[in-house]
Structures are given as C-alpha cells and as structure tokens.
Amino acid sequence: MISAIQNPRIQFLFQCRHQFNFPPKSRHFHRSTILLNSASSSSQVLTEKTLTSTSPPTSEILTIRKSLLSRERKAVEIAEEYLNRLRLTEPTIKSFLHVSENVMKEAEELDLKIERNEELGVLAGVLIGVKDNICTVDMPSTGGSRILQGYRPAYDATAVKKLKQSGAILVGKTNMDEFGMGSTTEGSGFQVTANPWDVSRVPGGSSGGSAAAVSARQCVAALGSDTGGSVRQPASFCGVVGMKPTYGRVSRFGLMAYASSLDVIGCFGSSVADTAILLEAISGHDIFDATSSKREVPSFASQFISTELLESKPLKGLRVGIIGETLGDGVNKPVVSTIKDAALHLEELGCTVSEVSLPSFSLGLPAYYILASSESSSNLSRYDGVRYGNQAAAEELNSLYSDSRCNGFGPEVKMRILMGTYALSAGYYDAYYKRAQQVRTLVQKSFKDALRENDILISPAAPSAAYKMGEKKNDPLAMYAGDIMTVNVNLAGLPALVLPCGFVEGGPAGLPIGLQMIGGQFDEGKLLRVGHIFEQTLQGCRFIPPLVA
Amino acid sequence: MASLCFRGLRTHSSLLCPSSLFSTRNGVFFCTMQTTKTEKTNTRTDNTKRTQIKASTSTNTKLVKENEQRLNDYEAVIGIETHVQLSTVTKAFCSCPYNYGSQPNTTVCPICMGLPGALPIFNSKVIECAVKLGLALNCKLAMTSKFDRKQYFYPDLPKGYQISQFDVPIASGGYVDLDLPLEFGGGHRKFGITRVHMEEDAGKLMHSETGMYSQVDLNRAGVPLLEIVSEPDMRTGIEAAEYAAEIQRLVRYLGVGNGNMQEGSLRCDVNVSVRPIGQAEFGTKVEIKNMNSFSAMHRAIDFEISRQVLLHNQGLADQIVQETRLWEEGAQKTATMRKKEGLADYRYFPEPDLPEVVLTEDYVEGIRASLPELPEMKRRRFENMGLIMQDVLFLANDTNVCKFFESAVDKGADVKMAANWIMGDIAAYLKNEKLCITEIKLTPQELAELISFIKGGIISGKIGKDILFEIITKGGTVKAVIEEKDLVQITDPSEIEKMILKVIEENPQQVEKYRNGKTKLQGFFAGQVMKASKGKANPVLLNKILLEKLHAKS
C-alpha cells in the first residue's frame, strides 16, 4: 500500500498549497484524483519529524566564489573542509579510486592569485571529482578496469582541460563500473562504493563514485558519463542533481569509449545551479571530437530567476508530458507515487501536465543493449596489452591477447564483448545490429512526436530507489531492466536532467527518488530553468544524507 | 608526450618473426599462424640472392616450356587490389606527419596510437585525393558515403580495428585505359575499376634478430590509403603489371601520392585463377602478395599462371586452393603464406566516431576542373603530334619527363628531335648519373635552343652533343657556350675552300695517290679539314668543295 510509506513529499504538498495558495485541484492531469487520494490517505502517517521545514538547496559554486572574492574565506580553508570530510567518509563510502595529492597546493596557488587580484575562472576553488574513465594527465585513469591498472594518460580529456581552465581543483578519480558497464558500481575492478543514504545499498552506476561523492559532500560537483543512464540513475539513487546533455554538447575526447554513439559526459551537483555552471564550463565544440556540435553554448545559470522574484505560477504555460509507459508494471509503486507528486508540483507551478505514450518505449532496452554491446566489443579491442595496460606473459601472440584480456577484464565486460561480437558477426548483423538501429530510429521519432506536443517529458529516473548491494549482482537481466527509464534518451541523443523530488521508505532516513526531465535536442537551458524552479519551490525535502547531515 | 614506451611482444619465435614464420616442409611453405593476420610488410629484397635467381630461373623456364603448349588451352583471370598511400601533410585522422624512414614511433600521437579516449578527426585532404583519383578512374562518386570499422586483432593495428569504407565506397564503377608496350605486343586495353575507398594504414612490426621478441613501430599507423579494386579483367602478367603502372602514373600525375613501390607507397595484391578456355565460371583464386616492382608482378603472375595450369594438366586441379601466396624474389616463385579457412569475419559496422562524408556538386566540379591532363589523354595527344607509340609511352610515363618535353616543344623545339634528344642522350645521362630530369642544369628552353641551332645548321649535331653535356653538368646557355668556344659552324665556302687548299698543299703524296685512283682517301682529306676547322666546318659544304678541288687539276 502506498499509504504505508512515509513520504516527505506528501507533507510538502500540504505545506506549499497552504503557503502559495495553490488551487486545491489540478484539472489537467487525468490521474490527479488518484494522486490526491493517495496523498490524503497517506497524510495520516505524517510524523513530526518530516514536518521540520527545510530551505531549498543553494549553489555551492556561487557561495564559494562569493566567499573567495569577498576574502571571507580562503581557498585552502574550503579545500580543507572538503578534504576532511572526504577523509572521514571515504573509508565507508569508497567513492574515489584516486585522490589527488595536489588539492592543497592548488588551493594555495589560488589564494595567491586572489591576493594579487587576478581574474578568477568560474570554477575557481571548486573541488570537482572526475569519473575514472575520463583521462587526466596527472592522475591515473583506469576506467574502473584492472586491465588499465596504474595507467596514466598522456593527455587531458577536453572536459578536464576546460575544468582546469575554469580554475577548478580536481579532487580525484571516482569509482565506476568497469568501462561504464553496470548500474551499481559493483562492477568496478577495484572496490565497491556505498550509497551515503544507506551504506548497505548501492549508489547506482556506472557513475556511482561521482554521485556518492557529491551526495556525501566529498566534493562540490563531479563529472560522470552517461551511455544508458549512468549519470541519471546514480543521481536518483544518491539524491543529487545529474545532467545528461545532448549528444555532441560536450566533447567526448578523452572519455574512454564504451558505446561511441551513445556516450556523453555529464555533470553532478548538489543543486541545479551547480550542475548548470559545471555543464556550461565543459560544453562546446571541440575539433578533437568530430561528433561534437558547433552549436553555441548559452549561459545556463544566468537565465535562472531568483527565488524571490518567482511569481505564484512561474512555469505557466509549460507543457509537460508524463510518459505513461514509465509508470506501469515493473515500476516500484512508491516511486510512481513520488513522481506523480512531482507532477502535481509542476502543475501547481503552472505547468499543464498530460500523459503521453511512447509506443516504442519498451523496445528501447533490447535495442540499447545490442547497440551498446556491439560498439563496446569494438571500442574495447584496443585494450590488448600491447601498447599500454597490463600485459600477460605469453609464449605466442594469441595467448598474449587472450591472457591479457582474460585477466584484465571483469565478467560483465567480457559478457558484453561477447554479446556485441556475436551481434556484429556475419549472418547475425541484420537480425541484431541493423534491427536495433531501426528501433533507434523509431525511438527518435516517437520522442520527436511527443516533444512536439510537449515542452518537456517527465518520468522516474529509475524504476526503484537504491537497492541492497549484491541484490542484482548475479541477475544481470534484472539489473539491465533497471535501465528502462534512461536508455531511450541515449538512443535519441536528447538531454535529460534528473533531480531529487522526494523520498521512499528505506535506510535510516528514507531513500531519495529522482525525477527525470527530458527535453528536445540542445534544450538543456530549458531543462535547467524548469529544474531550478522545481528545486527551489520544492519544500520539506532536504537531500543531504544522514552520513554528513 | 608521456610514456611512449613500447614493450617488446614476448612471443614465441615461430610466430612473429618473418624469417622463422614459415618452416619448409616437403617443398611447401607451411604456416603456423592461421587465425591472425600475417605479416605484410616483409618487403626486403635480397641482393645477396642474385645467384640463386639464375639457378632457379632456369628451372622455371623449363617448367614454363613444358607447360607452354598447354597454356594456350587455359585462360588466366586476374584482379588487383591496389593500396595507394597518400602523401598528405598529416595522417588521415590526426595531425601527425608521416615521413618514410623516420625513427620508430617518432611521428605518433594519442590518436594514431589508439590511446584510451582518443577519437579520430578526419583530414579533408583525403577526400580531395579520393575524389581526384575517383574522377581520374572514370568512377561514379557516392555523394554521401561513410566510414566503417574493419575489426581484427594484430599488434600493428593499435585500435583493434581499421577505419575503412565497407558497403558505400566513395567511388565505384570506373575504368582505366592503357597501351601495352610494343615489346610485349602492344595494343590498347581498358580494364574495369570496381571501387575506390578510403582507409587508414597500419603500423609495422619489427622483429628482433633472434626472433625472441618483436617491436611495434606506429609511425605508419593512420596514414591515409586509397584502395583501388579492379574488375577481374586482366589475362596476363604484363597486363596486370601495366595496369599497376598506369595506377602509379595516375597517382603521380594527380600528385596524390609518390607511388613508390619499394617504400610500400603503392602495394598490389593480385588475385589469379585459371580456367579452361570457354569455361564461364572462374577457377579457384589465389592471392599473391609481396611484389615490390612491376617486373616482379609480371614474373610472379606468369609463374602463378604456369603453376596453376601445370596442376590442371597433371589432373591435380583440386590442389589449387584459396590461399595467400608470397612472391619470393630470391627463388623467383610463389609460395604459400597462409591458407584461407573460410572467409574472415571482419564484423564491419558504421564508424560512430565520424560523421558521414557528404560531397556537393560544386566541390566535385571544382576538383574535376582542376584535374591535370591525365596519362591517357596525354598519350593520345602525343600520338597526334606525330610521335610513334614507343616515344609516346616513354615520354608520357613520367610527369617530369613529360613536362620537360612539352616545355621544350612549347619553346619551339622540333617534336621528333626533342623526343630523340630526351629519349637518347639525356635519358642515358640520367640513367648513368642516377638523376631525375628535374635535377639537371639543362632547361627545356636551352634544349629547344640547341635543337634550333642544329636544325638551322649553325652547329653540327656532333657539336650539339658536346654542348648538351656541357650544359647538363655546368648549366649556362647554348648561345654562350657556342660563343665562348667559338663553335659556330663554318658555312662560308671561301673559308672552307681555304682550309681545303691548305690541306691539299700539305699532303701532296696523298693527293697523288687519290688522283691515281685511291678515292678512298677522300675520307682522310675530309678528316684533316674538319680537324683544321676544329670540327666546325659544315660537312656537306666541306665534302662538296673537297671533291671539286681534288678533281680540279686532274
């Protein structure tokens, strides 16, 4: 029963309706009656604890900038604060594969720059975690794989270069499922990361390290990568904001390829504003990535309306489509009701919410797994132990290859390489790869149609909240099914923002649930604007895990 | 660049060292490596094996002779895959330069080394070259084409796949015209071109002397190639060799590559099969590799045809199997490199890192308009200028020679005389000194001048030759040399008469003998006069006046 769940969101509904004097009923949303019913029935279980009021998240990046410019705080103090928290929480969370030794040195240099009144980059003094599959010159980059243990890249990824140019301080390399293949970060070749909301649970994946690090405030923001939901699902599991930009918005140069036609570098932050600032810093055309877009990058965060200036219906006229297929069978009921509450909140902000159907939705998952596996079987061929990475001692060439790869890759990676090799083999290509490409075209078309009728689409970011470690480790199909909410967006190459919108029961303080907002191509600006208003008006939820609260 | 350290592949000696790659058993070459791609860069020519060539060619000739009669009952079918290395400033997908013979791994970067996270960026010069060659080969261009990945494992292939074009090549359905040399019977031929596509080259393996380890040189990895696939239209070794030579000429005329076979800038893989004359189906085809000159191609193919016909005649046609054979320059024969066990599955799929290649009409027309005169057009034009085919083929063979010749003709040189001078004395000099026509000091202008001086009777042909060699080595103008050395022909009859009278006067005995009937002595007198004139006397005048004088008093 839905009513059995302690949902802080429900309490919020009452609060905000009271505060903003919203109309009692949302007529546009055809399931609103059910929603309201569930809300009223569950109102009986509200406790005193959830009634404590909370303020909306603020931008850490802007706060840091302000305090540095006003000389209120020194960069070293800020860095120390984060590093201390990192040292304290890391033994439990294990979100980093490598922590930089240069953090304090870079902070000191920044303080000197401030003393000399030099101009500061937008990310000056901001501690940022970088997913381990993004190449960094001064830190090892393994992609979470044993085959690249100790590998130090010869160059910085374009996104990393841009971070450095913006003055960011890189904290370290975050843990991940090997080469991005997994949804729990249990597939890392090195360690298992815990979810800061409940350390017995997974942080999601594959960018689980980045999500957990931001959630546990080990760093201000982080880079991740998203091939089938690897930014959005862990953002949802860890209660942070995660942005998957349009394919081509951010250069992939320096991102270890998993599935080249789906991979994008994405951002994590503890607020929409931070995510927006980070995204802006890394976006833009790059001559080193032929698939990166030449489209101009708008200033995302500067378009945000400050909370004080918000009208009672700041999103008036915005057409929101809730994807019907994402609320049906196989989706955790409390998740569904949390998302419906979020929809209600959007209505209250002035949006018109209606249900849309994406008929090809269920086809996306198998198509995704065929395409991603096929491309990965090719992309991972370079890890042969010949030029870099771990090389097995072998008597002849074939064993050199097979032993190096056999010892270096984990089971999930091997499985996907085998699947992809099979799908691309002569005689099977048409039945698998080609058909999957046809499905991809269908998915793109159905999103296009849905986005003609709607400005944004919403859905859960994952069918459930964070689950227990080991729960799906030996059931790959169950794990793959968890990607149903996100893979279609990658197939279509669209941008999507995930932001925490509520809680379900579980763990010591409830488990966060992420709302996914999907926009048209290069519509990141709109998603972030809507997300920002949603976040700033969402009350009664504080997405800081008990570990650091 | 950090950490450019290449470790040796610790491998078994029989696998990666070409010298120990094959072990001879019962005269057949036996290969132990079947599943992976085998060494393709083993292009060493062994000068030390010259003696062996003689010994084995005699046996080959015997084989050919025995077979000769029967050869007429069979027809060979030959198709060629040619790889043309493009001489673009940078590689196909990164900004590294490529220079043949550089120190190993000095022209590499994260992209051509296939480092994690590196992506290809396409060099648009490669498209330009492909369009040029496609047009020159009379192909239809695909206005939209794409790149694909061809996947296989080999240590010289850093990414584990080669970026190539699979089902949509940039150009297809063309043909090439050529003229066979007269010494091989002459005649005009037209061979079909199936397709031209763009791809990248692989690196090279360097095997240690001991065979205990191998090293990878990635300088060549990522260098752009055009692969040209011919229709199976050729029937003889010479046709195939001339086809390849014509491709080389086109590449050089267009300036897209240097076409150097020794350096591997032009590589031909030849498919040969034979069938009884009249049979419609093709026989089993055999691929031959490792020929690094056109004459080697010619010999290798003729050897292979004889080998296959012999097997047919011995009733052993089933021993002709689909395989790759290497041409062994030393032994002058082909030998099995690897047998093909079914078709290799390269698991091609569209390259997701690169956008489609889209050509516009304007772009193509711009390139078409900029094409130089191509060898075939040039040959037809030279033919119309009145040159015989032998001259035409010689002059049109090399762009520099061609330019020199045409430039001399433009400056007014007589066509036939210019051709003779270039093909005769100049070519001989170039051959002796191992020089290219652009490296000598003689200019086409001066050759034209020289020819007109000779034609105008100002200097003799013999003096012309002396002047030519003077200018070839030291430079300068014909006029200056003539003036400086006072080489103008003496055409004044009175001056010649004076010299003749002097010689007659100085040789009374010989005059006597002549007048007594020993008329052979005319040569002696002519020689003496020529000597006195320092070779400058006009020989026609000289002989005319000399006869008059010798006969005058008799």
pLDDT digits (tens, 9 = 90+) for B478-516: 888 888 877 777 888 888 888 888 888 888 888 888 888
What number of helices (H) and strands (E) belong to chain B? 19, 19
CA torsion sign for A212, A213, A214, A215 is positive
- Alpha-carbon distance of A307 to A536, in angstroms, equals 7
Segment A40-83, tens digit of pLDDT: 333 333 333 333 446 889 999 999 999 999 999 999 999 999 99
My answer on whether B63 and B161 are in the same domain is: yes
Average pLDDT over residues B285-292: 93
**Hey, which residues does B75 pair with through a beta bridge?**
B275
How high does pLDDT run on average in chain B? 86
Interface residue A428 vs chain B (CB under 8 A): no
- Report how far apart, in Å, the C-alpha atoms of A438 and of each of A364, A433, B14, B312 are: 11, 9, 47, 50
Instruction: Classify residue A308 by its DSSP letter.
Output: G
**Cβ A476 vs Cβ A349: under 8 Å:** no
**Hey, which residues does B78 pair with through a beta bridge?**
B234, B272
- Alpha-carbon distance of A477 to A53, in angstroms, equals 41
Segment A421-435, tens digit of pLDDT: 999 999 999 999 999
My answer on whether B444 and B519 are in the same domain is: no
**Residue among B369, B371, B358, B359 nearest B132 (CA):** B371
Q: What is the β-pairing status of strands B357-358 and B349-350?
A: unpaired
My answer on whether B172 and B137 are in the same domain is: yes
**Cβ A253 vs Cβ A241: under 8 Å:** no
My answer on whether B316 and B453 are in the same domain is: no
My answer on whether B17 and B120 are in the same domain is: yes
- pLDDT for the residue numbered A54: 67
Q: Classify A141 as helix, strand or coil.
A: coil
Instruction: Count Cβ atoms below 10 Å from residue B518 Cβ, excluding itself.
Output: 12
Judge whether B366 lies within some domain.
no
The A residues from 430 to 459 touching B (CB cutoff 8 Å) are 433
- pLDDT for the residue numbered B15: 36
Contact residues, chain B, for A287 at CB < 8 Å: 121
Amino acid at B158: P
- pLDDT exceeds 50 at position A290: yes
- pLDDT exceeds 70 at position B461: yes
Dihedral over alpha carbons A284, A490, A231, A7 (to 10 degrees): 130
- For chain A, give percent helix, strand, coil, nearest 5: 45, 15, 45
- Alpha-carbon distance of B83 to B101, in angstroms, equals 19
Tell me the shortest Cα–Cα distance from B112 to chain A, in angstroms. 12
Average pLDDT over residues A519-538: 96
Judge whether B4 lies within some domain.
no
Domain that holds residue A273: 1-58+92-102+120-307+320-549
Judge whether B78 lies within some domain.
yes
**Residue among A375, A376, A378, A360 nearest A489 (CA):** A360
Q: Which residues of A are catalytic?
A: 131, 206, 230
My answer on whether B289 and B313 are in the same domain is: yes
Judge whether A69 lies within some domain.
no
Strand order in the sheet with B171-179: B140-141, B171-179, B188-200, B224-230, B74-85, B266-276, B286-289, B323-328, B333-339
What's the complex ipTM? 0.89
Amino acid at B28: V
Helix axes A75-93, A103-115, angle to 10 degrees: 160
Judge whether B442 lies within some domain.
yes
Q: What would you report as the CA-atom Rg of chain B, rounded to the nearest whole angstrom? A: 31
- Alpha-carbon distance of B476 to A297, in angstroms, equals 65
- Alpha-carbon distance of B239 to B298, in angstroms, equals 8
Percent of chain B with pLDDT over 70: 86
Domain that holds residue B503: 493-552
**Cβ B11 vs Cβ B155: under 8 Å:** no
What tokens does A279 get? 């995204």
- pLDDT exceeds 50 at position B44: no
pLDDT tier at B553, thresholds 50, 70, 90:
low
Judge whether A194 lies within some domain.
yes
**Hey, which residues does B10 pair with through a beta bridge?**
B213
My answer on whether B475 and B526 are in the same domain is: no
Residue that finishes a domain, picked among B485, B504, B529: B485
- pLDDT exceeds 90 at position A541: no
- Which of B349, B351, B354 to probe the A interface (max A CBs under 10 A)? B349
Residue that finishes a domain, picked among B335, B358, B381: B358
My answer on whether B240 and B384 are in the same domain is: no
What tokens does A389 get? 């990475």
Tell me the shortest Cα–Cα distance from B339 to chain A, in angstroms. 18
What tokens does A372 get? 């991603």
Compare B27 and B184 and report the one with higher pLDDT.
Answer: B184
Q: Is residue B510 packed enough to be buried (19+ CB in 10 Å), middle (13-18) or exposed (0-12)?
A: middle
My answer on whether B312 and B230 are in the same domain is: yes
Task: Give start and end residues of each alpha helix (H) in A48-102.
Answer: 48-51, 60-69, 75-93
**Cβ A9 vs Cβ A503: under 8 Å:** yes
- Which of A397, A400, A406, A434 to probe the B interface (max B CBs under 10 A)? A397
Segment A109-144, tens digit of pLDDT: 999 999 999 999 999 999 999 999 999 999 999 999
Percent of chain B with pLDDT over 90: 63
What total of structural domains would you count in chain A?
A: 1
Judge whether B43 lies within some domain.
no
Chain A: residue whose CA lies nearest to B123: A290
Segment A325-352, tens digit of pLDDT: 999 888 999 999 999 999 999 999 999 9
- pLDDT for the residue numbered B64: 56
Judge whether A108 lies within some domain.
no
Residue that finishes a domain, picked among B331, B358, B385: B358
Judge whether A78 lies within some domain.
no
**Cβ B129 vs Cβ B86: under 8 Å:** yes
What total of structural domains would you count in chain B?
A: 3
The A residues from 274 to 313 touching B (CB cutoff 8 Å) are 287-291
What tokens does B192 get? 């079909």
My answer on whether B211 and B337 are in the same domain is: yes
My answer on whether B481 and B497 are in the same domain is: no
My answer on whether B127 and B222 are in the same domain is: yes
Cβ separation of B115 and A153 shorter than 8 Å?
yes
Return the CATH number at A473.
3.90.1300.10
- pLDDT exceeds 90 at position B111: yes
Judge whether B29 lies within some domain.
yes
The A residues from 381 to 410 touching B (CB cutoff 8 Å) are 381-384, 386-388, 391, 393-398, 400-401
Judge whether A87 lies within some domain.
no
